[in-house]
Amino acid sequence: MSKKRLGPTIDKNKDGLNDEKKLTNSVPKRKWDQEVDEKMNDVENGEEMEDGENSDEMEDVENAEDMEDVENAEETESSFLDTFYGLSSESSMERSQAAHMLLDYCLIGSTANLKDATYTLRRLLSSLCSGKTAARQGYASTLTSFLKVSHKHGILENIKNSEGGDSILSFVRELLLESTSTKQCDPEKNGEKKGSEEQDNTKQRDSKKSGKKKGKKKGSEEPDNTKQGDTEKNVKKKGSEERDNQLGRLFGILSVIRSGILFPKDDTCEIDQIKNVSSGFVSDLISLYNNYEWMREPAAYAIIHLIDFFYALSSEKGASEIVRYLVSEVVVPNMLCPVSLEDYTMEQLAVALNIQAQSKDHGITLPKKLKTAFLCKSTMPIIAKSLSATSSVPQPRIHMVWDVILCSFLTTSTGTNAKSSKDKIQTRILRKELPGCKDTASDVVESLFEHVIVDILLGVEQESGISPSMHERRELALSLVEVLCGREYYSPKGSPFRIQIDGYLLKASILKPVIVQNLFIDAITISKEGQHASFLKTMSLSVLEFIVSSSEVFSDGLGRRLACAEAFLSCDPRFDSRTKSLTCNALLYFDDVETITPDLLKMWEEYADFLIKQIFSTSSKNNTHSEGSASYEAIGYVNLIYNLAKRILRSSQNIKHDIIMRMIQKILSFFFVGAFFDCSEMKDVSDVGLEAAMVMKKSLTGKDILFPHAIRIVVAARFYSLLADFAMTSSLHNSSPNEKKGKSAKNSLLLELLIGYSKDWKKLEIQGCKRMGEKNDVEDEEEAVGLVTKQQEAAIEKKGDLSEGLHCFKIGCATLNSILSLHLLRCGYADEMVENEEMNLDEEDDLEIREFIFDLGSAQNALMVELELLEKGDEDEDEEQSENALSTFARVCGGILSSQFNDCGESRGASSKLLREAVKMVWSNALALCAEYKGKMRQYDNSLRMILLELIGVDSEESEPEEEDDENSSVDSENTDDSDENDDGVFAIAAASGLDVEDRDEFSEKGKDVDVDMIGEKDDDVNLDNEELQTMLMEDISDGEEVEHHAGADAALAQLIKLKQDARKAGQQARERVALSNHTRCILLFEIILRQADSHSLSSDFLSGIFLPLLRTRRRLEKAVMKGAVGQTTINEKRVMVEKLTSLMQTKLFKIKTYPEINEQEFSKLVPNVMNEIQEADSDEHLECSSSTLIVFCKMARSKNSITCLSTAYSSLVNEWATKRTTIKTNIFENLMQQQLSIAKVLLVSPLCQASGDARNNFLKSECFRLLSILLSLNKMNPESSASETCEMGDKVVRKNYNLFAKSLLEAIKNDEMRKGKRVRELLKTIEKFIDYIDRKAGEEATLNDIMKALVAEIISLKSASESSGVTSVCDSLTLKINEYISKSQARIIKDNKVVETQQVKKKKKKKKGKKK
């Protein structure tokens, strides 16, 4: 039977065969060696094989009648031998295939025979000693399968009978010992025996001396297991051969154990025989353990494997008896002999713990020595050092003692993971009762991590917190943490498993802060370079990634997520930023919003409680972190809880409304109380609204009854920021349960929240809480707060006859005033040194806030009264020029946006954003309310326009600005009058002394921060102190007395002047920066009007008075930005203002659907000014804004005079663009063509035709023709009706300019430069568009035909001169079209002439008739 060849082809001259021969010659020659040699010689020489027990296959070969059968037999035999080489292949697949073929050939298939089976068994055993790459793995696994199959089919019994032996087990053991013996034959004295057989009197060695004299002592020699008939001299092998044989024996014993022949189910072997053979194997392994230190762990593992084999069969007859015998009579006396636990090696401890665990699981009685606890809280300090020594085992493998502790001793199996049917990894949990120990598994784990990992592996000293441990120890600690966190562990003892530990133990013991700090934060942020440091960092990041990804594997996924996140954040609230990962964020939040379940919301609530507790527990610590702040850690937790609230708001679409409100109110209440109130003297109450105050009182005890000032500032800032985020969450307001009740119900959600805090404010003060910071104007404040309360009550209760718009307006006003009243609260002061100064500033802010509260209430009432009068028809028409109520309301809103307290301090957070949202709400509601009275109210008049322009810093009457050279010329002139009167005298003295004050390049630009006392330090040559300088400056000079010149005084005076100038300049820039910021905020009012107002309600006066001031202000600011120095403090504010103005114009002002008509007089003034802006534009952005404004004017032009004015403007633009070097670009004309085609024809056809001949270069001429072609090809894009007046006007202008158009085309095509490249294509394209246009709309054909004929001649000339096939094709097409047009035109001319002649003849006849009469 032919077999498939595996592995390389065997050749006797190849190295592979030589290696095999060397392997067979490495043991003494015996009968089976001679048989192997004879068999191999027979195969090589092709001779017939003779044997007393030949198989059927051998007989077929003997009796073969032709050479083909003989060759097949030889090939089969050679294939069988080749498979042995495949067993040592590095490929596991190749080894598996070779083993399958080998077993099929000698045991299962039709070629099976006893001779080959015997040969295979011996060769497998001897090859276990091979040092080839994967030989042991391949031969050991094949030996396991061979023993199992051969024993099952009785072949092993036949081999034993043929070789001789007492029993199968003893035969296999003797054969294994013989094949792996460390003795070898002396070839010179073969047949002589040296003395009697040596007995194995080996004793246990001390663990410290073992291995130092390995192989040299007589006692270390192994017993001679040769047969009595052998007469060879035994000589101990040396070096690598001895090591290979010892490893081969270990692999052989493991193969015998795994084959299952030690306990056959058919009971063919007696129990005593099994005891003897098994105890012999255990003794062999103990011998390996005692004699070779490097074999300790493998030998101990093999002992555990052998004992576990019988433990697994404890339910079978005799198995429990065997295991008790092995443990009591062999293992304990010979291996577990140390008296003290301190003398146990880790291998001995592993064997003892495994026996304890297995005995408990299978109910087998332990010997007395093993009934004591080896691993418990009391013994942990004793064995901790030995356990930590296992860190020398290289990663990723860990010592077998940890395998026993984790897999057997501490945990028990629960079956495969039930959460995923595809997940076949076993899940293990902690034992309820530990073997031989009264401690719980949780206590042992906690003690293990405390004594082994924290104290030794990490080497953390409790006082200093320094971690001097080596990377290897950290790697072991990290591996243990990873396994106990649930990493899949592939144990050599069985199938892979993962350990499931509850979240409390994870947080309290495994991921305690000291472990997280050393294994994650320090390991990842380590600055040292090297292989170990890099590996440790990579390993730490991998563990963090696993912890995040594995949470869903376990049934308590969310609980584990929260426990791990709390563990990391308990160590450092900025864990993610420190480790540069998103670990905590990924644990707590999900990217998929659909995963927000009730369980997740519950986890978030628990997380919020944890953060609040952490803030309380860390706020009193003297925590000096890298930032140097005493409250740095607590601030981190404040930011975390704020981020949680923001996440809840972002997910509001997928969360029920009541749940969101409950969670947000809880966090806001904590911020509110913690920032603004002292709860130390609060009474005990059970009010739900005061829950946060009660928690604070109970949590903060001792001296630190309050949050430190640094924390209160951050908490206050987060309070305002979260309120702003709540106000901006549109999805939250849309999901309100009152959604069906209209817009007012949605707007009232924020107001309800603010009303709650107003009530809590009163309750807290009633219950004894004190507000932070003292107040001197309590009465005024109470009056303002009382007004706010009245507004809240009026807004929250809607009367039946109240309109929706008016109700929304009341809600907006009440909301804005409620937010203003919250700004009256303070978070206290840092110390008494700055208290007075800050109190003065706070009092100024409070005064301004109270004024705005009253002003807003008055403006609200005024607007409502005016609307009520309009409703009744009692409008006062005599006061057309007075400021209406809406204008007053706009002034109040703008004042709030640009107020001083709106500049966010460190305790205000995003209060400016909150105020902005509130102003946006109330202003929108006010405009919507006024829109209900359309036609009755002067809504958008000049007074409102002037107020709005003033609020954004634009002068409505601003004239053309003069050229400004100074970069700071934009500063208001009023800011230059702030210097002292004595400054004039100083500058006069400087002028009299001949100093050049302007030449001060050597002085610092930050002179405002320099004290006068520093003058002497800046110039070493100046030796004049302050008193002397002051005396000289103030000293009277008598008449006629000569002024003494003092060089030091000159330099000092110049520096003093420089300080004065820098201080004034700094003050001016500071004021300008504030003003620019305020102007930027007020643009919001303009944006809302242009977005919300009806285009028909915007008057021409209102719009026309906006364009030019905005353009001029934008250009002025942009010029200041372009010229401004890098260090100028107002550059950023000016740049932002420019961007805001640009956005206002491009997205709002230029997007109005319908523009009103402007009167001709106003139009004639605006157009030249806008033209000037186009010509003076310094950037493309300003040029686009200016040109867009001119296009808007085209839309607003209704009369012929206005169009004429525009025509003049665009003619000058085209002429300047074509003939001068200017900033004007073609997109100005293209935009007009795309938006207003008919007007573009009127305005651009004639100037472009003229420019095509007058342009200063050929490129511009080509651009002229491209633009003309666009004018002629955009008819389909024209949104206007063809019958409209402007459309007819545009076509009329084109017809009027036919001859000019055609002449410009003719002159261009004659130009040699225009015949080149792309230019000629643009020209031909324009000619084609022109022909199509004049063919549809005939004009002055009599004079045009002559030009067209000349044009045909030039096109023909161009065709003959051009080498481009595309150009020639276009020329042919144009020639045909022009000729067709000429023929049609001539026919029309003839027809028209005939008509004219006929009419003339009729007239003549009439005249003749009249004469005759």
Q: What are phi and psi of 235, to 5 degrees?
A: -125, 130
Residue pair 1106/941 in contact (Cβ under 8 Å)? The answer is no
Q: What angle do CA 21, 27, 33 make, to 5 degrees?
A: 65
Mean per-residue pLDDT of the chain: 76
More reliable by pLDDT, 1250 or 533: 1250
Residue pair 130/23 in contact (Cβ under 8 Å)? The answer is yes
Helix (H, G, I), strand (E, B) or coil at 428: strand
Residue with tokens 């003849």: 1401
Cβ contacts of residue 212 below 8 Å, gap of 6+? none
Tokens at 471, concatenated: 């990377």
Q: Report the distance separating Cα 485 and Cα 554, nearest Å.
A: 11
Using the predicted structure, report yes or no on whether residue 309 has a pLDDT greater than 70: yes
pLDDT reported for residue 62: 41
Tokens at 1323, concatenated: 């020209």
Using the predicted structure, report yes or no on whether residue 1314 has a pLDDT greater than 80: yes
Taking residues 438-455, what's their average pLDDT?
A: 91
In sequence order, what are the beta bridge partners of 1119?
none
Name the pLDDT band for 502 (thresholds 50, 70, 90): confident
| DSSP designation for 707 | -
Residue pair 817/855 in contact (Cβ under 8 Å)? The answer is no
Q: Give me the amino acid identity at 513.
A: P
Q: Is the pTM of this model over 0.85?
A: no
Distances (CA, A) of 206 to 211, 335, 400, 430, 782: 10, 12, 21, 35, 88
Tokens at 1099, concatenated: 């008057």
- pLDDT tens by residue, 1205-1214: 888 888 998 8
Listed range (134-143, 322-331, 799-808, 978-987) with the worst mean pLDDT: 978-987
Cβ contacts of residue 905 below 8 Å, gap of 6+? none
Strand boundaries in 645-799, DSSP class E? 677-678, 770-771
Three-state secondary structure string covering 872-891? HCCCCCCCCCCCCHHHHHHH
Q: What angle do CA 1220, 1255, 1274 make, to 5 degrees?
A: 110
In sequence order, what are the beta bridge partners of 411?
430
Listed range (524-538, 1036-1050, 1166-1180) with the worst mean pLDDT: 1036-1050
Using the predicted structure, report yes or no on whether residue 791 has a pLDDT greater than 80: yes
Name the pLDDT band for 856 (thresholds 50, 70, 90): very high
pLDDT reported for residue 1065: 84
More reliable by pLDDT, 1115 or 394: 1115
In sequence order, what are the beta bridge partners of 428?
413, 499
What string of DSSP letters covers 439-505?
S-HHHHHHHHIIIIIIIIIS---TTT------HHHHHHHHHHHHHHTT--B--TTSS-EEEE--HHH
CA-CA-CA-CA torsion sign (455, 456, 457, 463): positive
Instruction: Count H helices and E strands in the chain, helices first.
Output: 56, 7
Residue pair 852/895 in contact (Cβ under 8 Å)? The answer is yes
Helix (H, G, I), strand (E, B) or coil at 1091: helix
pLDDT reported for residue 999: 42
Using the predicted structure, report yes or no on whether residue 470 has a pLDDT greater than 50: yes
Q: Report the distance separating Cα 936 and Cα 923, nearest Å.
A: 20
Helix (H, G, I), strand (E, B) or coil at 979: coil
Q: Report the distance separating Cα 509 and Cα 448, nearest Å.
A: 9
More reliable by pLDDT, 1163 or 576: 576
Q: Report the distance separating Cα 899 and Cα 1077, nearest Å.
A: 10
Q: Report the distance separating Cα 1336 and Cα 1083, nearest Å.
A: 50
Distance of CA 669 to the CA centre of its chain: 31
Listed range (343-352, 672-681, 838-847, 963-972) with the worst mean pLDDT: 963-972
Q: What is the CA radius of gyration of the chain?
A: 50
More reliable by pLDDT, 72 or 1110: 1110
pLDDT reported for residue 575: 94
Q: Report the distance separating Cα 597 and Cα 655, nearest Å.
A: 8
Across 29-33, 569-573, 867-871, 927-931, the highest mean pLDDT is recorded for: 569-573
First-residue to last-residue Cα distance in the chain: 141
More reliable by pLDDT, 226 or 454: 454
pLDDT reported for residue 265: 65
SS3 content of the chain, % helix, strand, coil (to 5): 65, 0, 30
pLDDT reported for residue 1387: 80
- Cβ of 877: how many Cβ atoms within 10 Å? 5
Residue pair 607/644 in contact (Cβ under 8 Å)? The answer is yes
| DSSP designation for 517 | I
Q: Report the distance separating Cα 1238 and Cα 1197, nearest Å.
A: 12
pLDDT reported for residue 1105: 86
**Which of 787, 1148, 721, 1088 lies closest to 931 in space, CA to CA?**
1088
Q: What are phi and psi of 194, to 5 degrees?
A: -90, 95
Three-state secondary structure string covering 214-280? CCCCHHHCCCCCCCCCCCCCEEECCHHHHHHHHHHHHHHHHHHHHHCCCCCCCCCCCHHHHHHHHHH
Q: What are phi and psi of 1160, to 5 degrees?
A: -60, -35
Q: Report the distance separating Cα 62 and Cα 69, nearest Å.
A: 10
In sequence order, what are the beta bridge partners of 413?
428
More reliable by pLDDT, 1327 or 1001: 1327
Taking residues 986-1003, what's their average pLDDT?
A: 41
CA-CA-CA-CA torsion sign (1011, 1015, 1018, 1020): negative
Q: Report the distance separating Cα 1232 and Cα 1286, nearest Å.
A: 14
**Which of 1131, 1113, 1114, 1111 lies closest to 1122 in space, CA to CA?**
1131
More reliable by pLDDT, 66 or 1262: 1262
- pLDDT tens by residue, 202-246: 333 333 333 333 333 333 333 333 333 343 444 555 668 888 899
Using the predicted structure, report yes or no on whether residue 23 has a pLDDT greater than 60: no
Q: Report the distance separating Cα 591 and Cα 588, nearest Å.
A: 10
pLDDT reported for residue 644: 93
- pLDDT tens by residue, 177-193: 999 887 655 444 333 33
**Which of 301, 40, 259, 230 lies closest to 149 in space, CA to CA?**
259
Q: What angle do CA 261, 265, 270 make, to 5 degrees?
A: 75
More reliable by pLDDT, 63 or 702: 702
pLDDT reported for residue 3: 32
Pairing, β 183-185 against β 234-236: antiparallel
What string of DSSP letters covers 1148-1195?
TGGG-S-PPPPPHHHHHHHHHHHHHHHHT--SHHHHHHHHHHHHHHHH
Distance of CA 705 to the CA centre of its chain: 39
Tokens at 560, concatenated: 């584990």
What string of DSSP letters covers 1285-1299?
HHHHHHHHHHHHTHH
Distances (CA, A) of 1399 to 1405, 1407, 1410: 10, 12, 17
pLDDT reported for residue 552: 74
- pLDDT tens by residue, 1186-1205: 989 988 888 888 778 888 88
pLDDT reported for residue 73: 53
Cis peptide leading into residue 396 (ω within 30°)? yes
Residue pair 114/159 in contact (Cβ under 8 Å)? The answer is yes
**Which of 555, 578, 644, 636 lies closest to 606 in space, CA to CA?**
644
Name the pLDDT band for 595 (thresholds 50, 70, 90): low
Cβ contacts of residue 1221 below 8 Å, gap of 6+? none
